[in-house]
Amino acid sequence: MRTFNAALLGGAACFIGTLSVALVAQQPAHIHHAPAQSRMLASPLDLAESDLDAGKRAFASRCSSCHGADGKGGKPAKPGGAPASDLTRADLRTHADGELFWVITNGIGDSGMPAFAPRLSDVERWQLVAHLRTLGGVKLDVRTGTDAGPRYVWDLPPGFPRPRVPADNPMTVEKIELGRYLFYDTRMSINQTTSCATCHRQELAFTDGKARAVGATEQIHPRSSMGLANIAYSPVLTWANPTQRKLETQALVPMFGEDPVEMGLSGMESYLLARLAMVPEYQKLFAAAYPGQENPFSLANITRAIASFERSLLSGRSPYDRYRTSADQSAISESARRGESLFFDERTECFHCHGGFNFTETVDYVGKGFVEVEFHNTGLYNLGAAGAYPAPNTGVHAVSDDEEDMGRFKAPSLRNIAVTAPYMHDGSIVTIEDAIAHYEAGGRTIASGPNKGVGANNPHKSSFVKGFTLTPQERADLKAFLESLTDRDFITDERFADPWPSHQRGQ
């Protein structure tokens, strides 16, 4: 059997250090040659014009002999063999960057597609991936000279790509610090009771432990609070709103939303600004974050700072990450390792929606050619046997009014899942065991009451939630794997903690 660990490892920039042999044998899914775990790999490049040029040159010298100068494919590499693929095909877009990287790194068996490691370095192979994207007609975001100036140094966990940051809100240490004070400040609510952190608690990976969130006026939110770990990589925000795409704008919803009320600041904008301007800490923090502005106390500056703080919330140092990125094979238990195989198996299909370095397919980052935004119906409900979900939680349907979108929600990252119970958009699943049981049954059955229905028969359900059977041992293994994703450093990191001395907050 071929083991690809050495070849894939290539250099320290790679996320997957070693992969157990058992996993190599498994049938790959998205691209016919690369294993599912290759989707975990993300480009470490902060893509510049020079990377695209280098990729183009490497393609001309290394690839065009078989794939043609324009990448449109060519002759068989050997008599009777497969012709070199058309690399401009539309469906290649749906292949993750990591899968293309894997194919270039390892080649494809005896098809004639050669392995390019170690002939080409990691960086060169990633530059080729970027070039393949442009061949496919994708317009990549490239860093230009205007980004010059002092650069924020990300403390990226091993193997993590660089988050994309809006051009009008570059990361700075000063903005992050201001954002942290605001995030933890109950002055940010109508009655000084509620801050962002009320519903997003660090020790719970920035969720709140409740089935449904409770706002400043005790109004119960229809949905469950969401974790904020690695939110910098999420191209779409909240459970099921395809139009909510920027942290800067999203923050306005809890602050000013009226249905439901979260912080209840509607109509109090100038009062809020005046209030903050009186606080000595903020006089210093706003001035430092927005130097040269005559009056830095503005709503836009508040949301920029909060968004910067949120983007700094990176989590990728769980036992599972240590197991993956270092030689520490004992970082996770034998049971968790078996659970990993199950998670990445076609039988459970978990990785289809929760794959990739952030354990969700819905990710974006610098240099990513194909921004993935997906929403799925997992068969949690089936009201009236017509596929409906209980209002107002009808998923993307609530925004699009399209029947097809009924019950479709964002697959959340499963990082830190052991501390973010209860689960699902409405907190209706209490334990990890019950979440696994839901997928085993291919959808949840509710026997009686207003939400009665057989979720497995929901006509809008994703075909990846097809049901399967696990032995008790396998169930325990899958759970052990999910528990290995808890990043203790993240939930105790001082940089993300409440900065206020308790007597000063919200006064």
C-beta closer to ligand HEC: residue 65 or 266: 65
- Which residues are CB-contacts of 266 (< 8 A; sequence separation ≥ 6)? 256, 257, 258
Residue-wise burial string across 222-258, b where 16 or more C-beta atoms lie within 10 A, e elsewhere = bbbbbbbbbbbbbbbbbbbbbebbebbebbeebbbbe
Binders of ligand HEC among residues 136 to 195 (CB under 6 A) are 194
In angstroms, the CA 200 to CA 416 distance is: 13
Q: Name the burial class of residue 428, with classes exposed (0-12), middle (13-18) and buried (19+) by CB atoms within 10 angstroms of its CB.
A: buried
Nearest-approach distance from CB 188 to ligand HEC, in angstroms: 6
Binders of ligand HEC among residues 290 to 329 (CB under 6 A) are 306, 310
**Count of positions (residues) in the chain:** 507
Binding mask 379-408 toward ligand HEC (x if CB under 6 A, else -) reads -x----------------------------
Cβ 270 vs Cβ 297: under 8 Å: no
Binders of ligand HEC among residues 9 to 68 (CB under 6 A) are 31, 62-63, 65-67
C-beta closer to ligand HEC: residue 62 or 505: 62
In angstroms, the CA 134 to CA 139 distance is: 6
Binding mask 453-482 toward ligand HEC (x if CB under 6 A, else -) reads ---------x-xx-----------------
Binders of ligand HEC among residues 60 to 119 (CB under 6 A) are 62-63, 65-67, 77, 82, 84-85, 87, 100, 103-104, 108, 111-114, 116
Nearest-approach distance from CB 1 to ligand HEC, in angstroms: 19
- According to the binding rule CB under 6 A, does residue 363 interact with ligand HEC? no
Nearest-approach distance from CB 238 to ligand HEC, in angstroms: 4
Span of 43-51, 268-276, 410-418, 447-455 interacting with ligand HEC by CB under 6 A: 410-418
Cβ 358 vs Cβ 233: under 8 Å: yes
C-beta closer to ligand HEC: residue 62 or 452: 62
Binders of ligand HEC among residues 204 to 263 (CB under 6 A) are 213-215, 221, 223-226, 228, 231, 234, 237-239, 247, 250-251, 254-255, 262-263
C-beta closer to ligand HEC: residue 128 or 332: 128
In angstroms, the CA 110 to CA 445 distance is: 48
In angstroms, the CA 380 to CA 424 distance is: 9
Cβ 446 vs Cβ 452: under 8 Å: yes
C-beta closer to ligand HEC: residue 74 or 170: 74
C-beta closer to ligand HEC: residue 65 or 329: 65
Q: Name the burial class of residue 7, with classes exposed (0-12), middle (13-18) and buried (19+) by CB atoms within 10 angstroms of its CB.
A: middle
C-beta closer to ligand HEC: residue 202 or 378: 378
C-beta closer to ligand HEC: residue 111 or 121: 111
Nearest-approach distance from CB 441 to ligand HEC, in angstroms: 11
Binders of ligand HEC among residues 478 to 507 (CB under 6 A) are none
Half-sphere exposure of 200 (CA within 13 A, CB side): 26
Nearest-approach distance from CB 77 to ligand HEC, in angstroms: 4
Give the count of beta carbons closer than 10 Å to the beta carbon of residue 447.
Answer: 7
In angstroms, the CA 417 to CA 83 distance is: 45
